[in-house]
Amino acid sequence: MTVPLLSIDGLTKAYPGVVANDHVSLEIQEGEVHALLGENGAGKSTLVKMIYGLVKPDSGQMRLRGRPFAPPEPRAARADGIAMVFQHFSLFDALNVAENIALGMEDPPPMRDLASRIRAVSETYGLPLDPFRTVGDLSAGERQRVEIIRCLLQDPKLLIMDEPTSVLTPQEVRILFETLRKLRDEGTSILYISHKLEEIRALCDHATILRLGKNVGECVPSETTAAEMAEMMVGSALQAPERGRRAFGEIALDVTGLSVASPSAFGTPLRNVHLAVRKGEVLGIGGVAGNGQDELLAVLSGELPAEPDAIRLNGVAVGHLGPTERRRLGLLAAPEERLGHAAAPDMSLTENALLTGSVRENLERNGFIRWDAARAFAQRIIEAFDVRTPGPDNAARSLSGGNLQKFVIGREVLQNPEVLVVNQPTWGVDASAAAAIRQAILDLAAGGAAVVCISQDLDELMEISDTFAALNEGRLSAPRPVEGLTVEEIGLLMGGAHGMEVAHV
Amino acid sequence: MIALEKRPQPSQVWSVATPVIAVLATMVFGGILFAVLGKNPVEAIRTIFWEPLFGEHSFYYRPQLLVKGAPLVLIAIGLSLGFRAGIWNIGAEGQYIMGAIVGAGVGLAFYPMEAWFIFPLMVIAGALGGWVWAMIPAVLKVRFGTNEILVSLMLVYVAEQLLASMSLGLLKNPEGYGFPGSRNLQQYPSAHNADLIEGSGMHWGVVAAMIAVIFAYVLLNRHMRGFHIRLAGEAPRAARFAGVSPPRLILFCMGLSGALAGLAGLFEVSGPSGQISIDFNVGYGFTAIIVAFLGRLHPFGILLAGLLMALTYIGGDIAQSQMGLPAAAIQVFQGMLLFFLLAFDLLTNYRIRIGKAGVA
Give tens-digit pLDDT for B223-280. Answer: 999 999 999 999 999 999 999 999 999 999 999 999 999 999 999 999 999 999 999 9
Contact B309, B290 (CB under 8 A): yes
What pLDDT is attached to residue B351?
A: 81
CA distance A181 to A187: 10
Would you call A341 and B223 a contact, using CB atoms and an 8 Å cutoff? no
Indicate the range of A38-47, A360-369, B85-94, B155-164 predicted with least confidence. A38-47
Contact B14, B281 (CB under 8 A): no
Mean pLDDT (chain B, rounded): 91
Contact A333, A422 (CB under 8 A): yes
Which of A16, A325, A367 lies nearest to residue B360, judging by beta carbons?
Answer: A16
**Terminal-to-terminal C-alpha distance of chain B:** 17
Contact A448, A249 (CB under 8 A): yes
Indicate the range of A104-108, A115-119, A421-425 predicted with least confidence. A104-108
Name which of A19, A24, A328, A346 to mutate to probe chain B: the one with the most chain B Cβ atoms within 10 A of its Cβ. A346
Per CATH, is B40-324 categorized as 1.10.3470? yes
Number of residues written out for chain B: 360
Q: Is the dihedral of CA B45, B48, B51, B57 positive or negative?
A: positive
Beta bridge partners of A251: A278
pLDDT in tens, B184-205: 999 999 999 988 888 888 899 9
What pLDDT is attached to residue A240?
A: 62
Q: Please, what is the angle between helix B246-270 and helix B58-84, to 10°?
A: 160
Whether A107 shows a pLDDT value over 50: the answer reads yes
Burial group, residue A315, by CB count within 10 angstroms (0-12, 13-18, 19+): exposed
Count of alpha carbons within 13 angstroms of residue B13, beta-carbon side = 3
What pLDDT is attached to residue A504?
A: 46
* Domain annotation for chain A: domains and CATH numbers: 6-234 (3.40.50.300), 251-493 (3.40.50.300)
CA distance B26 to A233: 57
- Using alpha carbons only, how large is chain B's radius of gyration in Å? 22
Whether A306 shows a pLDDT value over 90: the answer reads yes
pLDDT band per the 50, 70, 90 thresholds, residue A239: low
User: Which ipTM score applies to this complex?
Assistant: 0.84
Indicate the range of A123-132, A415-424, B214-223 predicted with least confidence. A123-132
Whether A411 shows a pLDDT value over 50: the answer reads yes
Domain locations along chain B? 40-324
Whether A264 shows a pLDDT value over 80: the answer reads no
CA distance B357 to B327: 46
Would you call B234 and A347 a contact, using CB atoms and an 8 Å cutoff? yes
Indicate the range of A65-74, A176-185, A264-273, B349-358 predicted with least confidence. B349-358
What pLDDT is attached to residue B79?
A: 97
Would you call A358 and B238 a contact, using CB atoms and an 8 Å cutoff? no
Interface list for chain A against chain B, based on CB atoms closer than 8 Å:
12, 14-19, 58-59, 301-303, 322-325, 327, 333, 335, 337, 340-347, 351, 354-356, 358, 364, 367-369, 371, 394-395, 397-398
Q: Where are the beta strands (DSSP E) in B15-69?
A: none
> CA A314 from chain center: how many Å?
32
Q: Which residues of B touch A347 (CB under 8 A)?
A: 230-231, 234-235
Q: What is the pTM of this model?
A: 0.81
Provide the phi-psi class of B290: left if phi over 0, else alpha when psi is between -120 and 50, else beta.
Answer: alpha
What pLDDT is attached to residue B356?
A: 52
What pLDDT is attached to residue B358?
A: 43
pLDDT band per the 50, 70, 90 thresholds, residue A87: confident
Percent of chain A's residues with pLDDT above 90: 43
Name which of A369, A372, A415 to mutate to probe chain B: the one with the most chain B Cβ atoms within 10 A of its Cβ. A369
Contact B17, B29 (CB under 8 A): no
CB atoms within 10 A of CB A106: 8
What pLDDT is attached to residue A496?
A: 64
Q: Which residues of A touch B235 (CB under 8 A)?
A: 340-341, 343-347
CA distance A337 to A9: 36
> CA A452 from chain center: how many Å?
17
Indicate the range of A370-374, B128-132, B172-176, B197-201 predicted with least confidence. B197-201
Which of B224, B234, B360 lies nearest to residue A346, judging by beta carbons?
Answer: B234
pLDDT in tens, B21-45: 888 999 999 999 999 998 899 999 9
Would you call B8 and A356 a contact, using CB atoms and an 8 Å cutoff? no
> CA B333 from chain center: how many Å?
18
Mapping DSSP to helix (H, G, I), strand (E, B) and coil, where does residue A194 land? Answer: strand
pLDDT band per the 50, 70, 90 thresholds, residue A244: low
Contact A462, A445 (CB under 8 A): no
* Mean per-residue pLDDT, A332-348: 93
Which of A322, A345, A371 lies nearest to residue B243, judging by beta carbons?
Answer: A322
